[in-house]
Each structure stands twice: as structure tokens, then as C-alpha cells.
Amino acid sequence: MKNKVKFGLSNVHIAKMIFGENGAISYDTPFAIPGAVSLSLDAEGEETPFYADNIKYYNSYANNGYSGDLEIADIPEKFRTDILGEKKDKNGALIESSNVEISPFALMFQIEGDKTARRCVYYNTTVSRPSSEASTVEESKEPKTDTLSITTGPRSTDQKVRAILEKNETNATIYDNFYEAVYEEDKEASV
């Protein structure tokens, strides 16, 4: 049974990208980013039409990944240190420095459906530094959230952008262990 609708966002995880010899890419163990509020990603890439015989004869589209926003309740310390490059001093203060490179990562998450949930991974994700917001408490306490502007693109080693996995009878173990390591394509699969 396939989903008719999708709703809900949960189980956001991040796995820091590691660059090895000769440009090889691997990932650290994924860690959770609790408090997912919303994720909005728009496709990136231009249409290139080719005209012949007085019509649009052929269209090609560049797949340059996606860009958008991930809204979460609060940025966890591990994300600040592992991805944003902030350093924690002996007093527990997180120190941001202007000369630190932000690390790329794999973005993993789950979207609910009416039949089954989908688990997704974007293989090459980058993020800009988040903005800060705070306000006074008035008649009621309204939580403020953090929004991360993210961009995903093709992975340099194999041009993979993302994978989406729905649980079925044959992949239950892989689906259940999805957040233990970044999912990689099963080369023997056929469709």
C-alpha cells in the first residue's frame, strides 16, 4: 500500500561529512536534532529548452539539489560544535570564531504518511550560520525557534542528491536501522 498523503516531520538526524584520501566521502555516526518544527526545501536547477521545428523540441533540467529552511526548537550543542565549528571552553561557554569552516553533513529525517512513514537522507548539505532572536514575555509565553538556512547538492563522488525509503517486507531491518549510519544505495536493487 502506498501513501496518499504526507504529514509530520520527526527524527531529524545529522551525520557530519568526512573527507578522506583522494576525495573519498564518509560520515560520522548520525546524531539526533530534537524539536523539529518544519522543513521546506525548493528544487534548485535551471530549465534549458531546445527549440526545433518551430516548437520546444527538448527540455533538460539541471539537478543542483535543494535549498530552504529547517526550523527547530533549539540548536543543540553537538550541532554547534561538530557542524558550526564552535568551541566549548572549560567554563562551558560556546565560542564562535570568524575563521572556522562550517562542515557539510548528511541530513536525515522522517515524514509520516497515511500508510507508512518515509525516511529521507540528503547526502551533501550545508548550512549558514543561524540568526538569533529573543523577545520579552507578555501575556503568554510563546516559544521562539531557530531556523537554519540549508542547501543540499549532489555529492561530489557519485552525484547522489538524496534517497527516500519506505518500509516494506523486504527492507524492514534496513529501515529500522536507518539512523545508525547514512543510507547508501543497494547496487543490486532493480526498478
> pLDDT at position 48, please?
80
Q: Is there a domain that residue 111 lies in?
A: yes
Q: What is the pTM of this model?
A: 0.86
104 within some domain: yes
Write out pLDDT tens, residues 93-137. 999 999 999 999 999 999 987 678 899 999 999 999 887 777 777
Neighbours of 91 (CB within 10 A): 5
Report the relative pairing of strands 118-127 and 94-95 from DSSP bridges. unpaired
Place of cell 561557554: 93
Tell me, yes or no, whether 142 lies in a domain: no
Checking if the pLDDT of 4 tops 80, the result is no
Closest C-alpha to 36, from 68, 70, 6, 7: 70
Domain residues for 164?
6-41+75-126+153-180
Residue 148 domain-assigned (yes or no): no
Q: Is residue 146 part of a domain?
A: no
- Give burial (CB, 10 Å; 0-12/13-18/19+) of 109: buried
**Distance between first and last Cα of the chain:** 17
What's the total number of domains in the chain? 1
